[in-house]
């Protein structure tokens, strides 16, 4: 078995003081760095949006952040502007160990958001990560990072659906928790056979 650590969106905008700050988001950095040596591959995702991305509330008249609107591909939460391509907020946390093999950027197409590392939010446009992992013979994945209830959960659910052996280490994740989203996400992950380690952060 070949195993990879997938580090989701440990970026400044998701840390305290950032544009879409996740409570205690920066506290995932130390545990994630400590885990890296135990894996055959370390992959990182980077949320990477153009300044006029359609997931930004600023792009929609009469909407405010955290509203949910209907997009051609389904419901979409509107977010504060965050992780804009090339901005300081899009950078990885400066203490994150960057020894990773691959950095996968997502959400760079204006018309569609991408929470998952595997598919955009239409749940059918692939990012190419599945092909990369298959070619490297990686079949066991541990996911960590930000945020538990959005990008980590969507990635874990897609990975389970694709047939990977999936673990989410909750001690190295933190959540946004919007209207019960954390509870829903953990229930969905459990139902999909994702192994949840540690306690909810
Ligand atoms: C995320 C909301 C918007 C995440 C990214 O990384 O969980 N959440 N963009
Ligand atoms: Zn985003």
Q: What is the pLDDT of residues 108-153, one digit of tens each?
A: 999 999 999 999 999 999 999 999 999 999 999 999 999 999 999 9
pLDDT at 1 over 80: no
CB 114 within 8 A of CB 128: no
**Angstrom distance (rounded) from CA 15 to CA 69:** 25
Closest to 52 in 3D by CA, of 110, 91, 109, 108: 110
Residue with the smallest CA separation from ligand 1 atom 6 is 151
Give the residue, by CA position, lying nearest to ligand 1 atom 8.
150
Residue 188 DSSP one-character state: H
* 95 classed as catalytic: no
E strands in the chain: 3-8, 41-47, 68-71, 74-77, 102-106, 140-146, 165-174, 195-197
Q: ipTM value, please give it.
A: 0.98
Give percent of the chain above pLDDT 90. Answer: 97
Residue list, CB under 5 A from ion ligand 2: 47
Examine the residue annotation and report whether 173 is marked as an active-site residue of this protein.
no
Question: Taking CA 98 as the corner, what is the angle to CA 18 and CA 159, rounded to the nearest 5 degrees?
Answer: 80
Asked whether 101 and 41 are in contact (CB, 8 A), the reply is: yes
pLDDT at 2: 95
Taken as a whole, the chain contains a residue count of: 201
21 CA distance to ligand 1 centroid (A)?
10
Q: CA Rg, the chain, in Å?
A: 16
Q: How confident is the model at residue 200 (pLDDT cuts 50, 70, 90)?
A: low
Lookup: tokens for 34: 């400590």
Instruction: Report the C-alpha gap between 104 and 133 in whole angstroms.
Output: 12
Pocket test for ligand 1, best of 150, 152, 181 (most atoms within 8 A of CB): 150
Cβ neighbours around 143 below 10 Å, total: 28
Q: Which of 83, 151, 158, 173 is catalytic?
A: 151
Structure pTM?
A: 0.97
Q: Is 195 a catalytic residue?
A: no
């Amino acid at each position: 078995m070949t195993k990879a650590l997938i580090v989701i969106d440990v970026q400044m905008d998701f840390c305290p003081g950032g544009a879409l700050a996740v409570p205690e988001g920066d506290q995932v950095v130390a545990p994630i760095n400590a885990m890296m040596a135990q894996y055959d591959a370390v992959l990182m995702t980077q949320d990477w949006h153009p300044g006029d991305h359609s997931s930004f509330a600023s792009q929609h008249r009469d909407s405010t952040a955290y509203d949910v609107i209907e997009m051609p591909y389904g419901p979409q939460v509107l977010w504060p502007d965050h992780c804009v391509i090339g901005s300081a907020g899009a950078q990885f946390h400066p203490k994150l160990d960057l020894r990773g093999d691959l950095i996968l950027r997502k959400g760079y197409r204006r018309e569609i958001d991408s929470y998952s590392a595997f598919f955009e939010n239409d749940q059918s446009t692939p990012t190419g990560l599945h092909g990369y992992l298959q070619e490297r013979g990686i079949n066991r994945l541990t996911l960590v990072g930000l945020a538990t209830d959005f990008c980590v959960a969507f990635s874990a659910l897609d990975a389970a659906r694709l047939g990977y052996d999936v673990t989410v280490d909750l001690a190295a994740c933190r959540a946004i928790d919007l209207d019960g989203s954390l509870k829903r996400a953990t229930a969905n992950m459990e139902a999909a056979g994702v192994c949840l380690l540690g306690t909810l952060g």
